Amino acid sequence: MSRALDSMPMHIVVCIKQVPDSAQIRVHPVTNTIMRQGVPAIINPYDLFALEQALRIKDSADARVTVLSMGPFQAEEALKKCLSYGADDAILVTDKSFAGADTLATTYALAAAIRQLDRQHPVDIVFTGKQTIDGDTAQVGPGIAVRLGWQLLTYVSRLREFDAAAKTITVERRAEGGVQVLESRLPCVITMLEDTNEMRFADMAGMFRAERYEVPRWDRSAAGIEDVSRIGLKGSPTVVAQVFAPKPKDVRAVTIEGETPRDKADRLLDRLFADNPALEATLLDHLETVETAK
C-alpha cells in the first residue's frame, strides 16, 4: 500500500460496532445466536475509548478520523453518534452476504474496507476497542492487523509519544506482571483498554452535522470483496454448540464459631475434611512427599 505524503493529514480509522444492550440480551433457542430484534442497541462501550483516543490525536495534530462499521442499516445510528463527537467521516459496510459472520469473516470484510479507504487516503492508524460486549473474543483488532500485515499493539492503556513526521508511536500496554512500553512505526492497529480516557460530550454543531450527514453504504463490491466464500456464514467456521447462562450455586455461607482463632481454624478444617473426605488423605500424602524430598 502507498503511504501518505507529508503534505497530507494523518488518516485514522476507528472500527466500531453497534451491539445489543448486554442487560437485555436474549439467545435464540434453536440457532444459539443473539436475538437483536426488540433489544436496544448501543455503541460497544470499549470502542468509545478507541474513538476518544483518535479524537485526541486529531486535537493535537493534522488528522482526519473515519469511523467504520460492519452491520445492518440500523448501525447508521451508531456511526452518526460518533460523528457528533467529532469524527470527520463514516462508512457503513452492509450487505446481506455478510449475515452470520464470525470474527474470521468480519475481519476479512473490515480489512478489505480499510484497504479501500487506504487507496483513497492512506491510513496511518486503525483503532478498535479491546473487545465487544456481545462476543468478548478480542479477535477483531488482531485479525485486522494480520490481514493488513500491519504492526499490532493490544491492550493499550496510554499513548506516550506520537511523531507524525517520523510516523512513529510509543504506547503503554498492560501485560501480566506490569506495563510494557512499546514503540512502533506506522501504520499500525491499536486496541484500547477500558478506562483509559473519558468520552467527550457532543456539541450542538456536531449533533446538527451528524443529523445531516448521509452515511455511505458499502456493499461487498464497494468494499473490494471478490471472494464471497470468505464472508458471511460461508466464511465463518465457528460453530456455537450451546449457549446457556451459568446455573447459580445453591451454597450458603457457614459461620464458624470458636472462642479463639485457633478454635475457629480447627473447626474450619474439620468442616472441610467432613465435606471433602479425600482431602485429608491427599494433604497427608503431599506432606509425606515433601518430607521425603528433603
Tell me if 128 sits within 8 A of 110, measured CB to CB: no
Span 236-243, mean pLDDT? 79
In this predicted structure, the answer to whether residue 183 has a pLDDT above a threshold of 80 is yes
In this predicted structure, the answer to whether residue 170 has a pLDDT above a threshold of 80 is yes
- Which of these, 54, 195, 50, lies nearest to 128 by C-alpha position? 50
pLDDT at 6: 53
- Quote the distance between the C-alpha of residue 66 and its chain's center: 17
Averaged pLDDT of the chain: 89
pLDDT at 222: 96
Cα dihedral 22, 16, 177, 151, rounded to 10, equals 150
Amino acid at 189: V
Cα dihedral 252, 258, 263, 269, rounded to 10, equals -10
Tell me if 129 sits within 8 A of 50, measured CB to CB: yes
In this predicted structure, the answer to whether residue 134 has a pLDDT above a threshold of 90 is no
In this predicted structure, the answer to whether residue 38 has a pLDDT above a threshold of 70 is no
* Residues 6 or more apart whose Cβ sits within 8 Å of residue 37: none
Bridge partners, 65 (sequence order): 12
In this predicted structure, the answer to whether residue 2 has a pLDDT above a threshold of 60 is no
Q: Residue 39 corresponds to which cell in the numbers above?
A: 433489544
* Rounded-to-integer distance, Cα 179 and Cα 173, Å: 6
Tell me if 215 sits within 8 A of 90, measured CB to CB: yes
Confidence of residue 294 (pLDDT cuts 50, 70, 90): low
In this predicted structure, the answer to whether residue 124 has a pLDDT above a threshold of 90 is yes
Highest average pLDDT, of 2-11, 247-256, 269-278, comes from 269-278
pLDDT at 52: 97
Tell me if 213 sits within 8 A of 80, measured CB to CB: yes
In this predicted structure, the answer to whether residue 264 has a pLDDT above a threshold of 80 is yes
Bridge partners, 183 (sequence order): 170
Q: What is the pLDDT of residues 194-235, one digit of tens each?
A: 999 999 999 999 999 999 999 999 999 999 998 999 999 889
- Which of these, 145, 130, 149, lies nearest to 50 by C-alpha position? 130
- Fold for domain 10-230? Rossmann fold (3.40.50)
In this predicted structure, the answer to whether residue 4 has a pLDDT above a threshold of 50 is no
Considering the entire predicted model, what is its pTM?
A: 0.77
Output 88 or 175, whichever has higher pLDDT: 88
Q: What is the pLDDT of residues 271-287, one digit of tens each?
A: 888 888 888 888 888 88
Q: Is 115 exposed, middle or buried (0-12, 13-18, 19+ CB in 10 A)?
A: middle
Helix intervals (H) in 121-260: 140-148, 204-212
Output 29 or 45, whichever has higher pLDDT: 45
Picking from 113-117, 161-165, 220-224, 290-294, which range would have the lowest pLDDT averaged per residue? 290-294
In this predicted structure, the answer to whether residue 144 has a pLDDT above a threshold of 60 is yes
